[in-house]
Chain A
């Protein structure tokens, strides 16, 4: 049956540019300017989809973003994109579209068996069954339910397209380019304000694009032309304002999907803009509502305004006969335009009395009008064939299409994103904005102001007010076309379906929610609008209830016997329409997901065979190729190098903070538990910091450079936190201290020269600098100049060997590193990486990140004796809370593996020898390494009672691998208890 035809002339399509797309594997012809929906209708493809739950035949309902039924899967393979509304998809050459949620096809869908079972599938049926026969039986049913749900099928291949995000600022953002929006943008633009006009459609004009009046069209093109000519105005099509956030942050998304990938030439598919607008004018228009009656979802039953849009804009008209059912005046515009296209139109108007001019207009176009008449039922399962009217003219009429004109719902979404609830307006039987922030304005249909002249006046007024509020007081108002007089807009709200229809009457097409579901929800007590929504899934589809919301809550209000305002409305949340995830993320994905921090020596490591490991944002040299290709063995060779000879390691990632000022010593004395007031110039001290709660937050060394200057290092992980903490204390609380702190982490590089031959290596590298034990004793520091560059030499050791750190400005790092390697080459010096560094420190018993995990006290880490008894320090008071002093706390121990054939793993749980292996144990292993000194696996761990149990044999359990091993508790200082090597 032929329902639609392409008109021979007119429309906004470019007949000189035919476009070839593919739909369900077959060619689909259209013209530039078509949408996928208009092309489908022009080709008389009406039954194009199946519904979500009952798999009922469905056709396109609307001509806009509110489309509930006409959802398709676009693209193929990696570019597959499910659930795209055909009504907002530009037709382009090569477009591939497929129907979805039907098998084998929408026309013959085997899943439509669901429709027969529909009495069982009432709203919420799944809450009442699938519970038996056993606990957990849901796991049997769930896969079936999951497969049945879910609309289209996505690809799991990576998206080949790219997206970008950007930031913008303007004085006035105007959202929507219908009559009100154009007037607002132009009026604001004439003031000189920086204006951005965002239009979601592919062209400017909003409702004007659906009209047929030449004067209106002339006004539209003149307005757009003037806007284009203004340098201070930017106008954008295919740009949806998806959300308004605090402080007038508007999120705009521009779609470029209509450009084929090769036409985009590496440009982004979509661009998301975070726009800070001083003022915002919302001119977002309104959306027509369907009406609720038996079988109102049959293909060919559409919004009346959509029929008008397809006829006028896309030159696609019903074949012969149309019926329009209405409760308001706007239907007459649609009817007249269809009649002009040669369609025989009948209007069934629920209202008994209609303003005479509408009758007269209808009569002059040969349109039959039946007042006090509604729709009883629709016949034709796979597409409408006849409507049965009810009321005053209870006759049946054969027809190709049925237009529904249920009144207009202002698009209030954006106005309520900021938390202001919409309010009900009786005059238009719809919700309008409940108010605006002082920086926001509304105009036109979204305010319930219908009619071209009224909307233009309202828009001009809003544009002027917004410009003025943004500081641009002088402007010229925009006026409507000369001969326009707005017709009346009267509406008689009719919400519920007539009783005598036998079929389902749908409230929400996409979610398959019927009047019966609303009634059930009411009976069962799901009566608040939020319960209704959550229980029936009403308004939860991709259209977010744009066509269903008001009808549903009006029905619920009827059931409850309360008014619509009393029933309230649901909350509108961003995004306004489905928003591509890639556009939100922009370029901050994949390799660019988070910035990479590289040490100043990174390039050298890369060229010289380092394997890197991620440590927070840092890329650190993990181990070097000279030592082997496996992380399990390379570090052992690197450790041996340090223990027996000399190695060079990059420690640039440590936090480095310059602390200066007359009170610098006092400041350090407060933040570290141990004393710093009396640290002599030229000395380094290890320090530990607590949080106010008495828990250890960081450790590091601090060198005194002069009376008033210190050089602090922190752990790599906590560098940023410690810096902020110091600033917080100085700026917010200890304002009496004259101290400045500055981060040098990125400005300075550090390298550790470690091993018994470290001094020899330095002598070879810096023959003119005295690095003797006398000139630079253990924990000494000195600034020296080498070849014109200042080096900071610090004699300290993380490995436990004789060691020095050489710190230098980042620009000099690589030449200095290479110089040391070259000069000390006769000794066999080589670089060692993070794994060896971390393993050497375990042998020495230094705590690090895994032990400094914000759960441990000083005593837990065996550092309690460091704390000054007399002095005050951050965290002192709360350090002595009851449980923080319990003898049962887990504290630091060294552990040796007693069973040489076994492996020791980090994360093992520790038990006493006679404990049953269950529960939480008495501690756990934090860090494990192979010890080159002891030739066995050793570890650091926390154990209940700590070193009180030194010498005892305990058990490490790793049930994830079904492993257990015997360990011995030893001192965490596995090597060089006396510190002979450090002081050598």
Chain B
């Protein structure tokens, strides 16, 4: 009896281990998500300071009749300084520098962009919400503590007093950070955006798809439909399985050594990134597509052949259309993996600082995951927020792609 009790309690213990393992794994998912969301949500708002802006033509050396090009080229630095002086009168030089630091360094670009949209405002005054510097932003969001000694703070006591005065006047407000979604990278966290990286990833994925999908589809058609199992197919098959297990960084080395080193394609462009991701995705697509071709019943092929279709017509008119949903599902899942892949992009140089938004697969660019990596390497608190927000965006894209794959499978796949 004693031993039976022992066995039963061993049974209970074993089951508890299992439950614990499942619960712990699920706990990891939760804590990961919680951490990302709690650090990243701040990136979607930015702090602004309301200021009275007088577009003094003396400082920008343009007038109502200036061309757009002249407006674009003019220097707005002096104007920005003037705006600070007008809104904070009676500052000595030291105080002025401190107050200027409370606004973003890219203040002048904000003024320029406004004037380019509204050229008739030259010589007039308006009320504008000027973006605050990242350090001030972090103070307002509460990520930087206020109650530590002044030497450990990026914002000193004087700046805090100015901030409190502005707050009491109701001039400090938070707005939705559109810039995060529309701008390229920047050295300053408050003006850094993810759009350049999103476009870079998009171009890379387009290249990846246009390489891997047709070739993967045709290769699987050849292996499943046109060739009898033999030595050649064995070699190809072993090859494909091995390729699927090669670490992604090795594909990056292939891109660097072959595509850039030997063929001479340019460094850090989405074209090379997309090709490398395509090499990686190819085995996934071939494996999915073959499974899906195999699931098309032989009666379809025999029916087509019986009414006089050639082998080619059978395959292209009947078998491929029926297997396409399965192939597409595999392709989307493969592309989702490719989207999150960072190491190959590091190898081929898509981790540089790129401010411009790439206009095509031949412009220098970063990818979404490599931008996340870049930001995560920056020490500033403002970039920490951006990193998490970038991860949230990346996860959102992955969720969309995987949901699309599931939907395609449910809606279109034919069950035989």
Q: Do A and B come from one complex?
A: no
Chain B interface residues toward A at CB < 8 A: none
